[in-house]
Chain A
Amino acid sequence: MAQITLSNLRHSYHPNLKSDADYALKKIDLTWEDGGAYALLGPSGCGKSTLLNIISGLLVPSEGKILFGDQDVTSLPPAKRNIAQVFQFPVIYDTMTVYDNLAFPLRNRGRDEDIVKQRVTAIAEMLEVTDMLNTRAANLSPDNKQKISMGRGLVRQDVNVVMFDEPLTVIDPHLKWKLRSKLKELHQRVKATMIYVTHDQTEALTFADKVVVMQDGEIVQMGTPVELFERPAHTFVGHFIGSPGMNVLPCDVKGGAAFFGGEQVSLEGPAKDVADGGAEVGIRPEFVSIASNGQGVDAVVRKVADVGRHKVVEAIAHDSRIHAILEGEAPSAGEAVKLQFKQSQTRLYKDGWLASSPEEAA
């Protein structure tokens, strides 16, 4: 077990590069702490699977290095890296029994049958598949098959990292949460580093202690679920996480103050070093409310959706759409309202990146 460091990683599938756009991964620098539960979150095609395959050794990066602890493993094949990977579609060896499937990685490494038996029994118990050990793996249901592939990853005690590549894609919705909590529980028991790749924010946020958000081959932000929610470092993160995502409103910056449709918007703190001109204001729907004192941004309600616990209001202000999440009473469609933004949660973004910082005093 070791800390995993990615340094100056770049990767391209094209043999001859013409521009930066040919890179599937653009310069990644990242450290995964030993024993952490990570999620790698991003839309399809953002390069997260590429990154995963580079860590596991199925791909050799075009540039850069991968370190496991102090050892440079960049050119080592997967079998030599002591890693485990669970794929999108369950990979099981059809002709073997569940027991033989779980024992396969150990036997390939020439472990004693005693140790094999002990490990397989332990893992089977954790996964609650003990009663299936002697059945043919081909006859299992998809979720049990996926459990077995996970088990093959966990059966070796010395793995540096276990990686999951969208492992719940083919699992029935009602079994997804069961497997997900099983995974979380397994992480606490085996204490191995785990990296969970997904495009589903719920999966990422519930599984991981730390989430890495990727877009277009770049890492946009790494942080705890709370950090990602409260202080998105990029409007993309704001959009991608949350339902509905963060409101991003066009604004003008003049002397460090932001103006939305001519009205000044109070930010969380000063936007230092932001040149005058176009920028964006970001505010989560959770922090937008209807003003009762007659002050705020003029808006017209277009739609109200009742999603159970709360209501999602969609309003138009200065030609921009603003979502607000309201508890209890909500205006009806067509009504003119004034919207208020919670100041401590109102941030400024320049070229997509976070540009404001909270007031020192607060």
Chain B
Amino acid sequence: MRMRNLVPILYILFLMLPIYWLVAMSFKTTNEILSGFSLFPQTWTFENYIAIFTDPTWYWGYINSIIYVTLNTVISVSVALPAAYAFSRYSFVGDKHLFFWLLTNRMAPAAVFALPFFQLYSAVGLFDTHLAVALAHCLFNVPLAVWILEGFMSGVPKELDETAYVDGYSFPRFFMTIFLPAIKSGVGVAAFFCFMFSWVEMLLSKTLTAVEAKPIAAVMTRTASSAGYELGLLAAAGTLTIIPGAIVIYFVRNYIAKGFALGRV
């Protein structure tokens, strides 16, 4: 093996260590955790996982998270598609400013919006619903989706559109049957990023929910603080939050590198 291969291997090792420790902890009994250091679980236990899967507050946390993340991904990508098309194909009054303004919304610290969001979504009666979180996450996911999709669409020659119109396609039919398949990897990449940022975001999703739509990540913090240090349970819940991301990333593994390269600055 050559020396330079060592660099990514060491890096990946560094990435895996904390994850390993989280997973190892999740299989330890509380006694073992508190009694001292052990590299591997001495007595394997599934207690922590059983606790999670039998307690509705826990597993509803997962379901809630998955609901609003999916909802957000669908909303973000479907509104971003026509907008990205407009940015990539037409020039119109204010297009540059609009594009830049959209991107600035990614720069707004989520902490700034926490309180006004709480008030806004309470005022429109959406507080503690999945839709509230899904809509709130659009703040940073829609600009991102527009940005990524615009990059992919600009890579499709304009002649494709023109040929389709000459062949008598209507715009909606052209868009659905010809254009979308041509940029499907872009849609995949955009959806992936929307999923990712919605899944990992905590501050807004925690602020906008109380009981009904409480995300798993928020359930975790409450449990950790109220019931003292139930480290095993915390670790098990944490481990479970890694799985959806891992599954999604496996499906887009061949597009990750490419998707990054095609954005426009």
Q: Is A in direct contact with B (CB under 8 Å) within the complex?
A: no
Name B's A-contacting residues (CB within 8 A): none
Name A's B-contacting residues (CB within 8 A): none
